[in-house]
């Protein structure tokens, strides 16, 4: 915008991506009914903690597997084995989460 | 090709053993037909066994040291220095695991993951010691710290422990960021992350006038980040709280193992970054400040674990004086200091949880220990006197050599300050006060302690005998560390 003109699209993206959440929260704050009471001030555990934890682990897994998948054809056998070992390590984490009950629906 | 894997077989074994232990623990402790057994002791002994087998593998792989330079180009470089540092690290880890068993039984601690989280940072410390690349160093430091954050908070029902864990998280994540920033500045200014290349680029950069502020900032940040991690004095802010709040075996582990590995790594980095004026001044200042703080701050303490924390900060300050001189005697005195420090700390932390009827938190509880349990009192006082640096014990040996090395490289201010603070620590009723309480005080009610279990008493016997025999017969230690120091400069 001001300096580096190749980055104009980047600035647009940044501004829109900042505006949308602000807009969302503002509209929701305008339209929602407001009620007071002591219940509203207490803390609330939504139960999604375990989901978020397991999600983060496997998301980082995916992030590392994407570049490998994109350049799979030019890398050799040794890289395949290394990626395999990486996935095995994550499977160990998955077995742990499974036995501890993180994969249950309730 | 196979030589490469043989060279890292200790680490590979430890990783595999950790994973197998984790799966074994989780599969059997959640199986209904075995009635959900708490597998802590089981996994604990297996963990200890795996650490000892790693030690054996490392020792058996010694002839491979000459071939193991195949890894040189990538991540690490093994020589005598790293070999003996790794052995010391594994021995200290085995010692701290054997300290845990008693506290598991007494406190009915049933999370076996605690044990799995001890070989895991050990493996990353084994990789950190020979690390020869900035990326490898950072990854290993980060991995080791992450496991420590978790085990520092492992006593879930205790607020102290949770507080210690979150404080350690903040105190550890922030310097990791600083360290990484320094690494990236050095990479940005020189384009090299491998220590060999950095050594060629940074040789005498202070003298030849080819200074670049990027390199200067990078080295400064790396030094500051590493100093945070070993809780050096201007950066030690929450370390006593962390040491006090964590469960005692964790505190023992925390005060020995990262210090060994980060000191080894830092001496590598400093040799590479050519010990310019900046690095040396920072390290000198931190050493002086650590010694002063360690001596003075412990005077006001009434609990037992906090002065141990302060004394470990102070002692690490003494060790850092040896390291701040850039000479071979400096590195040698650092290594002697670390060996002796490791055995003294294992000693001290093995005694503290052993004194439990109710848990010992206050120093006043140690009253008249000499009458109720004289051998324990004597062992504790041997350890304390060794910390204080009293002659017939190993602590004096290490301090003497440290100051000798400091004088040898011209740090004429540092050595007198060190001697004075050591004397203050001794006379101004700090270590001696504990001994006085034990031997000469008469508490209002007699406190009776349960006898210590077998593993800890074995551990105490080994470390106390090392401490007492080090002074009359120090030559194996001196020879060993001289070899280590020489090979680290090659």
CA distance B401 to B427: 21
Window 50-89 of A, Cβ < 8 Å to B: 89
Mean pLDDT of chain A: 86
Identify the weakest region by mean pLDDT among B116-120, B250-254, B348-352.
B348-352
The stretch B85-104 carries a mean pLDDT of: 85
Residue B100 CA neighbour count, 13 Å, CB half: 34
The H or E element containing residue A60 is: helix A49-70
Question: Smallest CA–CA separation between A96 and chain B, in Å?
Answer: 6
Question: Smallest CA–CA separation between B74 and chain A, in Å?
Answer: 16
At residue B460, φ and ψ (nearest 5 deg) are -65, -40
Buried b or exposed e, range A6-37, using 16+ CB within 10 angstroms? eeeeeeeeeeeeeeeeeeeeeeeeeeeeeeee
Q: Decide if A92 and B26 are in contact by the 8 Å CB cutoff.
A: no
Residue B375 CA neighbour count, 13 Å, CB half: 7
Terminal Cα-to-Cα distance of chain A (whole angstroms):
50
Q: Say how many CB pairs under 8 Å bridge A and B.
A: 16
CA distance B334 to B318: 9
Grade residue B1 by pLDDT with cuts at 50, 70 and 90. very low
Grade residue B365 by pLDDT with cuts at 50, 70 and 90. low
CA distance B98 to B41: 10
pTM equals: 0.84
For residue B168, give the nearest of B94, B285, B250, B97 by alpha carbon. B250
Identify the weakest region by mean pLDDT among A48-52, A80-84, B430-434.
B430-434
B19 in reach of chain A (CB within 8 A): yes
Residues of B in contact with A96 (CB under 8 A): 22-23, 26
Grade residue B301 by pLDDT with cuts at 50, 70 and 90. low
Q: Decide if A96 and B22 are in contact by the 8 Å CB cutoff.
A: yes
Question: Smallest CA–CA separation between B27 and chain A, in Å?
Answer: 6
Report pLDDT for B210: 52
Report pLDDT for A9: 87
Q: Who wins on pLDDT, A27 or B6?
A: A27
B427 in reach of chain A (CB within 8 A): no
Alpha helices in B352-453 (DSSP H): 369-372, 374-388, 394-408, 414-427, 431-440
Q: Who wins on pLDDT, B128 or A43?
A: B128
Residues of B in contact with A95 (CB under 8 A): 23, 26-27
In this model, does residue B265 exceed pLDDT 80? yes
In this model, does residue A36 exceed pLDDT 90? no
CA distance B438 to B425: 18
Taking only the tens place, the pLDDT of each residue in B384-403 is: 777 777 777 777 778 888 88
Identify the weakest region by mean pLDDT among B164-173, B261-270, B315-324, B423-432.
B423-432
Report pLDDT for B333: 82
Q: Decide if A95 and B19 are in contact by the 8 Å CB cutoff.
A: no
CA distance B155 to B337: 32
Report pLDDT for B318: 81
CA distance B207 to B267: 21
Q: Who wins on pLDDT, B9 or A21?
A: A21
Report pLDDT for B297: 72
Kindly identify which residue of chain A lies nearest to residue B24, measuring between CA atoms. Answer: A96
The stretch B222-228 carries a mean pLDDT of: 88
The stretch B105-113 carries a mean pLDDT of: 75
A101 in reach of chain B (CB within 8 A): yes
B26 in reach of chain A (CB within 8 A): yes
- Candidate from A89, A92, A100 with C-beta closest to B30: A100
In this model, does residue B38 exceed pLDDT 80? no
In this model, does residue B364 exceed pLDDT 70? no
A95 in reach of chain B (CB within 8 A): yes
Tell me if B48 sits within 8 A of B97, measured CB to CB. yes
In this model, does residue B135 exceed pLDDT 80? yes
Grade residue A66 by pLDDT with cuts at 50, 70 and 90. very high
CA distance B354 to B252: 13
Question: Smallest CA–CA separation between B22 and chain A, in Å?
Answer: 8
Rounded to 10 degrees, the C-alpha dihedral B180/B184/B186/B187 comes to 130
Identify the weakest region by mean pLDDT among B37-41, B127-131, B144-148.
B37-41
Tell me if B132 sits within 8 A of B490, measured CB to CB. no
Taking only the tens place, the pLDDT of each residue in B231-242 is: 887 877 888 888
Grade residue B215 by pLDDT with cuts at 50, 70 and 90. confident
Grade residue B357 by pLDDT with cuts at 50, 70 and 90. very low
Grade residue A1 by pLDDT with cuts at 50, 70 and 90. low
Identify the weakest region by mean pLDDT among A99-103, B215-219, B367-371, B426-430.
B426-430
B27 in reach of chain A (CB within 8 A): yes
Q: Which of A77, A99, A102 should one mutate to test binding to chain B, selecting the residue with the greatest count of B CBs within 10 A?
A: A99
Report pLDDT for B72: 55
CA distance A2 to A29: 34
Complex ipTM, two decimals?
0.76
The stretch B476-485 carries a mean pLDDT of: 77
Taking only the tens place, the pLDDT of each residue in B314-351 is: 888 888 877 777 677 778 888 888 888 888 888 888 87
Residues of A in contact with B27 (CB under 8 A): 95, 99
In this model, does residue B362 exceed pLDDT 60? no
In this model, does residue A64 exceed pLDDT 80? yes
For residue B482, give the nearest of B474, B284, A89, B243 by alpha carbon. B474
∠ CA B108-B111-B112 to the nearest 5 degrees?
Answer: 115
Q: Who wins on pLDDT, B477 or B276?
A: B477
Report pLDDT for B277: 61
Question: B290: which residues sit within 8 A by CB, 6+ positions away?
Answer: B232, B233, B236, B313, B314, B316, B317, B318, B320
Report pLDDT for B66: 54
Residue B164 CA neighbour count, 13 Å, CB half: 27
């Amino acid at each position: 915008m001001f300096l580096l003109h190749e980055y104009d699209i980047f600035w647009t993206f940044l501004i829109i991506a900042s505006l949308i959440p602000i807009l969302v929260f503002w509209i929701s704050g305008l339209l929602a009914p407001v009620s007071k009471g002591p219940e509203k001030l207490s803390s609330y555990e939504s139960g999604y903690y375990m989901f978020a934890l397991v999600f983060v682990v496997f998301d980082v897994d995916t992030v590392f597997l994407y570049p490998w998948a994109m350049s799979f054809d030019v890398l050799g056998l040794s890289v395949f084995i290394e990626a395999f070992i990486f996935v095995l390590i994550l499977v160990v984490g998955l077995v742990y989460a499974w036995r501890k009950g993180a994969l249950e629906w309730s | 090709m196979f030589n490469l894997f043989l060279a890292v077989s200790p680490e590979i074994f430890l990783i595999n053993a950790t994973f197998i232990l984790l799966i074994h623990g989780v599969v059997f402790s959640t199986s209904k037909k075995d009635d959900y057994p708490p597998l802590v002791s089981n996994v604990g002994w297996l963990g200890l066994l795996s650490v000892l087998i790693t030690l054996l593998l490392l020792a058996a792989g010694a002839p491979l040291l000459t071939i193991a330079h195949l890894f040189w180009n990538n991540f690490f470089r093994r020589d005598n220095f790293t070999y003996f540092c790794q052995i010391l690290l594994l021995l200290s880890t085995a010692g701290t695991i054997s300290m845990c068993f008693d506290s598991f039984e007494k406190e009915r601690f049933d999370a076996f993951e605690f044990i799995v989280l001890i070989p895991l940072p050990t493996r990353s410390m084994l990789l950190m010691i020979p690390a020869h690349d900035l990326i490898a160093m950072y990854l290993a430091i980060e991995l080791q710290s992450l496991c420590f954050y978790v085990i520092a908070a492992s006593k879930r029902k205790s607020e102290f422990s949770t507080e210690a864990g979150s404080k350690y998280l903040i105190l550890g994540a922030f310097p990791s960021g600083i360290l990484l920033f320094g690494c990236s500045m050095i990479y940005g200014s020189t384009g090299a992350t491998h220590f060999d290349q950095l050594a060629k680029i940074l040789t005498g950069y202070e003298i030849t006038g080819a200074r670049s502020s990027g390199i200067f900032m990078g080295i400064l940040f790396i030094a500051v980040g590493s100093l945070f991690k070993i809780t050096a004095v201007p950066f030690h802010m929450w370390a006593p709280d962390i040491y006090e709040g964590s469960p005692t075996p964790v505190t023992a582990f925390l005060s020995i193992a990262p210090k060994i590995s980060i000191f080894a790594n830092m001496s590598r980095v400093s040799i590479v970054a050519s010990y310019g004026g900046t690095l040396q001044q920072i390290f000198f200042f931190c050493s002086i400040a650590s010694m002063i703080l360690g001596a003075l701050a412990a005077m006001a303490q009434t609990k037992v674990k906090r002065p141990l924390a302060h004394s470990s900060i102070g002692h690490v300050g003494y060790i850092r004086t040896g390291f701040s001189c850039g000479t071979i005697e400096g590195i040698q005195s650092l290594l002697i200091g670390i060996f002796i420090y490791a055995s003294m700390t294992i000693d001290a932390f093995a005694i503290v949880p052993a004194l439990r009827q109710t848990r010992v938190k206050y120093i006043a509880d140690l009253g008249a220990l000499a009458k109720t349990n004289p051998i324990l009192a004597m062992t504790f006082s041997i350890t304390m006197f060794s910390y204080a640096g009293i002659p017939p014990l190993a602590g004096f040996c290490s301090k003497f050599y440290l100051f000798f090395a400091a004088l040898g490289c011209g740090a004429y201010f540092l050595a007198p300050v060190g001697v004075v603070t050591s004397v203050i620590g001794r006379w101004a009723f700090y270590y001696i006060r504990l001994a006085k309480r034990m031997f000469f005080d008469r508490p209002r009610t007699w406190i009776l302690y349960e006898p210590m279990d077998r593993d800890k008493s074995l551990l105490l016997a080994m470390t106390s005998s090392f401490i007492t025999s080090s002074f009359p017969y120090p030559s194996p230690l001196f020879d060993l560390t001289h070899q280590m120091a020489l090979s680290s400069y090659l």
